[in-house]
Amino acid sequence: MTNTTTKYIFVTGGVSSSLGKGIIAASLAKLLQSQGYRTTIQKLDPYINIDPGTLNPYEHGECYVTDDGAETDLDLGHYERFLNVPTSQANNVTTGRIYQSVIDKERRGEFLGKTVQVIPHITDEIKHRIQILGKSGEYDIILTEIGGTVGDIESLPYVEAVRQLKWELGNENALVIHLTLIPYLSAAGELKTKPTQHSVKTLMESGVQADILVCRTEHELNDGIRTKLARFCNVKKESVIQSIDASTIYDVPNMMLEEGLDKVVLNQLQLEAHTPDLTSWNNFTEKLKNPKSDIVIGLIGKYVELQDSYKSILEAFIHAGAANEVRVKVVSIHSEFLDAQNVKLKIENLDGVLVAPGFGERGIEGKIEAIRYVREHNIPFFGICLGMQMAVIEFSRNVLNLHKANSSEMDELTPFPVIDLMEAQKLITKKGGTMRLGSWECNLLENSKVATIYNKNIIHERHRHRYEFNNDFKDQIENSGMLSSGCNPQTGLVEIVEIPSHPWFIGVQYHPEYKSTVANPHPLFLSFIKAALKYKTNKQ
């Protein structure tokens, strides 16, 4: 048996995708963390892309960026938001990355003439990746979420790796939680267990016995259903955990606590259970549910019809809203359908506008129209990444009268490339993992609005972009009233612009939303919400 003190929890999914494995993993991790266990979560994704950085949001939702510059699955955002502990490249591994390292080893001759095979070479690489965090000594418990659904061809090597690890580590050091769906047939008026029985059986065909079932359901599971599930799926009755639909994901830790998920987990892992300290968490959910006022923020982007594409921004609004005791209603506005004629109608009643990050030309003119309107009408404005770049373009066009000002991303031949390709990007030809990524230092200008908001002079924020503010236009832009209030100390890249004469007009080249957590709502979001509330109050 491997000598280890780190405990491993694997979370698999059955019956259907989108059951919320990430939220269940994050909620359980929260309960374990709040009992004093150092906990982290990892996601294994069975697709062949090396990372989701090259994936369209239509395919995969938001791409979440870590401090160390990994482009990762959006579930890592949930892990950070729940646990308030940063994740890294080691927390997200894809099949593409696994195969790439095995193939690289093969090319280096490291397999000494052996035939390289899925078992043992790919499964060994998966097992190695699973244990990197465990062996770091930083954690007591590692939760590993296996993407996809059991029975998928592409999940098989992962399930096999889990089988081997469970055997090697022993039942007191490794357990499997299977997240499943209990559908309700309204015609029969019944909850059905059969799909779960089948998916547990599918897992068993690969030699893995689920230890705990977490059952997604729209209706309460009664005692009879719990007994039936336990009997047919070889689990103890107390290990049948109900996960009923919640009004907010932030309720799930308490729901899991009520069901005793943490207790059955700790019991099997032979760890002591304590009373979790959820005081600050409950403080947050209390405020979230009892807002004293509400505001309406327009989120302007081109993927607004997709719930997951701006996930971290929406969650950052929830954190900052709760802290301010305000309900933030976010209205999605598709930038492609916004123009000079309809902009007033769509924006005049909002209390604040956030222009979202993005890539490519589609929808940018609508973003520019919206920014013009909010700038001229003193409506709080927050631009993130492409949103900041569009604010610089709008200002250059309409205040500096550089009419064809643009980003060279959108118009390579623009006479006024106020946003231009970064020097370091000019020789890059490969698309994957080559943007300016991860955490960079930024110096804040003394007495600027951002310095007051952050209440510090030096910050670190996460980036994901190729283009930047063109310093050739800096003086001209500053002289006309748009200040560069944050710069990278090494490169001189402008990271923040603000308009001091406007009540709240800030654009940031980085992504503050990635760092907003329940425990630490982001200062810019907090301040933006405050400004929007003030704007609304003054308007009335």
Q: What amino acid positions are annotated as catalytic residues? A: 385, 511, 513
SS3 428: coil
SS3 217: strand
Among candidate residues 43, 41, 15, the one with its CA nearest the CA of residue 216: 15
Using a 10 angstrom Cβ sphere, with 0-12 exposed, 13-18 middle and 19 or more buried, the burial of residue 267 is middle
- Give the per-residue contact string, 453-492, with ligand GLN (x = CB under 6 A; - = no): -----------xxxx-------------------------
Nearest approach, Cβ of residue 389 and ligand GLN (Å): 6
Instruction: Assess 358 for contact with ligand GLN (CB under 6 A).
Output: yes
Cα separation, 368 vs 343, whole angstroms: 10
What part of residues 375-404 is at the interface with ligand GLN (CB under 6 A)? 385-386
Can you tell me which of 51, 73, 75, 409 binds ligand GLN, judged by CB under 6 A?
A: 409
User: Is the Cβ of residue 216 or residue 462 nearer to ligand GLN in the bound state?
Assistant: 462
Instruction: Assess 359 for contact with ligand GLN (CB under 6 A).
Output: yes
Query: Token pair 């807002």 is at which residue?
Result: 291
E strand residue ranges, 278-416: 293-301, 326-334, 352-355, 381-384, 406-407
User: Is the Cβ of residue 302 or residue 464 nearer to ligand GLN in the bound state?
Assistant: 464
- Give the per-residue contact string, 310-349, with ligand GLN (x = CB under 6 A; - = no): ----------------------------------------
Nearest approach, Cβ of residue 240 and ligand GLN (Å): 43
- Sequence length of the chain is 540
- What are the backbone dihedrals phi and psi of residue 355, each rounded to the nearest 5 degrees, phi first? -100, 125
User: Is the Cβ of residue 454 or residue 469 nearer to ligand GLN in the bound state?
Assistant: 469
Nearest approach, Cβ of residue 526 and ligand GLN (Å): 22
Nearest approach, Cβ of residue 176 and ligand GLN (Å): 37
- What are the backbone dihedrals phi and psi of residue 436, each rounded to the nearest 5 degrees, phi first? -75, 110
**Region binding ligand GLN by CB under 6 A among candidate stretches 176-184, 207-215, 356-364, 443-451:** 356-364
Cα separation, 404 vs 418, whole angstroms: 10
How crowded is residue 534: how many other Cβ atoms within 10 Å of its Cβ? Answer: 15
User: Is the Cβ of residue 134 or residue 357 nearer to ligand GLN in the bound state?
Assistant: 357
Do 247 and 4 contact (CB within 8 A), yes or no? no
Which tokens go with 369? 């129209």
Instruction: Assess 54 for contact with ligand GLN (CB under 6 A).
Output: no
Nearest approach, Cβ of residue 413 and ligand GLN (Å): 18
User: Is the Cβ of residue 505 or residue 510 nearer to ligand GLN in the bound state?
Assistant: 510
User: Is the Cβ of residue 284 or residue 473 nearer to ligand GLN in the bound state?
Assistant: 473
Using a 10 angstrom Cβ sphere, with 0-12 exposed, 13-18 middle and 19 or more buried, the burial of residue 124 is middle
Please give the size of the binding site for ligand GLN, defined by CB under 6 A. 10
User: Is the Cβ of residue 298 or residue 358 nearer to ligand GLN in the bound state?
Assistant: 358
Q: H or E stretch including 350?
A: none
Q: H or E stretch including 81?
A: helix 75-83
E strand residue ranges, 267-315: 293-301
Cα separation, 213 vs 420, whole angstroms: 52
Can you tell me which of 13, 357, 383, 438 binds ligand GLN, judged by CB under 6 A?
A: 357
**Region binding ligand GLN by CB under 6 A among candidate stretches 211-219, 298-306, 351-359, 440-448:** 351-359
Nearest approach, Cβ of residue 385 and ligand GLN (Å): 3
Binding site for ligand GLN (CB under 6 A): 357-359, 385-386, 409, 464-467
